[in-house]
C-alpha cells in the first residue's frame, strides 16, 4: 500500500487499466497540500488525460493496497481511438466525468473534516459501486480500514473511530472488508450533502 503508480508533473503518457485494487488520485494545492481528487477501482482507467494530450501528469495516482493493472502506451491508444469513433466518444465521456469528480473531491478535501470526507467517500461508493438489497446497499469495493484512511488522508485509528460511530448510529456495518449502508439518507446528512440523488435505503437495526 502506498506505491505511487503515476507522479504529478511526470513526463509519461501511458494509460493504465485497473483490473484489481483501489487507487486514489491526488493533486497539490497551495502550500503543497495533497487533495483527494478521485477514487478509481477495477474496471476504471487512470492516466487518460496525459495519454490524450501528451502533456505532463496532472495528478498523482497512489495504490491503496494491492493493484493489478495493464499499461497501454499512448502510441497504441491514440491510433485505436482514431480508428474507432464510438470508442473515442466513450473515452471522452470518461474524461469529462473524471474532471467533474476531481473538481468536487479537490474542494471537499480542503473544506471538510475527516468524518465528513469519509461519509462522502462512502456515499460516493454506495452510489457508484453499490448493489441494492432488501434493506441495505452493499458496497462492491473491498476496502480495509487502512485503505479508507488512505483515501481520506487520515490515520487508520481515526477512521476506525468514525466507522465505529457510524455503525453505532445504525448507518452502516463493516466486516471482512465488506461495507453495507443501511441508511443512505442518514449517511448523506453526515456527509453534508444537500439533497439525495436517488432513493436511500431503509434503516436497519443490524
Give the number of other CB atoms < 10 A from CB of residue 83: 9
Domains of the chain: 4-111 (2.60.120.10), 114-190 (1.10.10.10)
- Taking the CA atoms of 78, 84, 88 and 91 in sequence, report the sign of the dihedral they define: negative
pLDDT tens, 84-138?
999 888 888 887 877 777 677 666 666 789 999 999 989 988 887 788 888 899 8
In the block, cell 493489478 appears at 68
If we measure between CA atoms, which residue out of 88, 108, 111 comes closest to residue 24?
108
Q: What is the pLDDT along the chain (206 residues), one digit of tens a residue?
A: 578 898 888 888 888 999 988 888 887 765 566 666 777 888 888 888 787 777 788 888 988 778 899 998 888 888 988 899 998 888 888 878 777 776 776 666 667 899 999 999 899 888 877 888 888 998 877 677 877 887 787 888 999 999 999 999 999 998 776 789 999 999 999 998 865 444 444 333 33
39, 61 Cβ separation under 8 angstroms: no
50, 57 Cβ separation under 8 angstroms: yes
CA torsion 85-91-92-93 (nearest 10°) is 110
In the block, cell 452510489 appears at 127
In the chain, the N- to C-terminal Cα span, in Å, equals 31
Residues counted in the chain = 206
Q: How far apart are CA 108 and CA 125, in angstroms?
A: 15
If we measure between CA atoms, which residue out of 71, 21, 16, 61 comes closest to residue 41?
21
Amino acid at each position: 500500500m502506498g506505491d505511487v503508480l503515476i507522479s504529478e508533473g511526470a513526463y509519461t503518457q501511458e494509460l493504465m487499466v485497473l483490473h484489481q485494487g483501489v487507487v486514489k488520485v491526488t493533486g497539490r494545492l497551495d502550500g503543497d497540500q495533497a487533495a483527494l481528487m478521485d477514487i478509481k477501482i477495477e474496471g476504471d482507467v487512470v492516466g487518460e488525460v496525459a495519454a490524450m494530450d501528451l502533456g505532463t501528469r496532472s495528478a498523482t495516482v497512489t495504490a491503496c493496497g494491492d493493484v493489478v493493472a495493464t499499461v497501454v502506451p499512448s502510441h497504441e491508444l491514440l491510433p485505436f481511438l482514431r480508428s474507432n469513433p464510438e470508442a473515442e466518444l466513450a473515452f471522452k465521456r470518461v474524461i469529462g466525468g473524471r474532471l467533474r469528480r476531481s473538481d468536487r473531491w479537490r474542494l471537499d478535501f480542503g473544506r471538510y473534516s475527516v468524518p465528513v470526507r469519509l461519509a462522502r467517500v462512502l456515499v460516493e461508493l454506495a452510489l457508484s459501486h453499490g448493489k441494492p438489497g432488501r434493506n441495505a446497499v452493499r458496497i462492491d469495493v473491498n476496502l480495509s480500514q487502512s485503505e479508507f484512511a488512505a483515501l481520506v488522508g487520515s490515520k487508520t485509528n481515526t477512521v476506525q473511530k468514525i466507522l465505529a460511530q457510524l455503525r453505532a448510529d445504525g448507518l452502516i456495518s463493516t466486516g471482512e472488508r465488506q461495507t453495507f449502508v443501511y441508511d443512505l439518507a442518514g449517511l448523506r446528512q453526515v456527509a453534508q450533502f444537500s439533497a439525495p440523488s436517488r432513493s436511500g435505503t431503509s434503516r436497519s437495526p443490524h
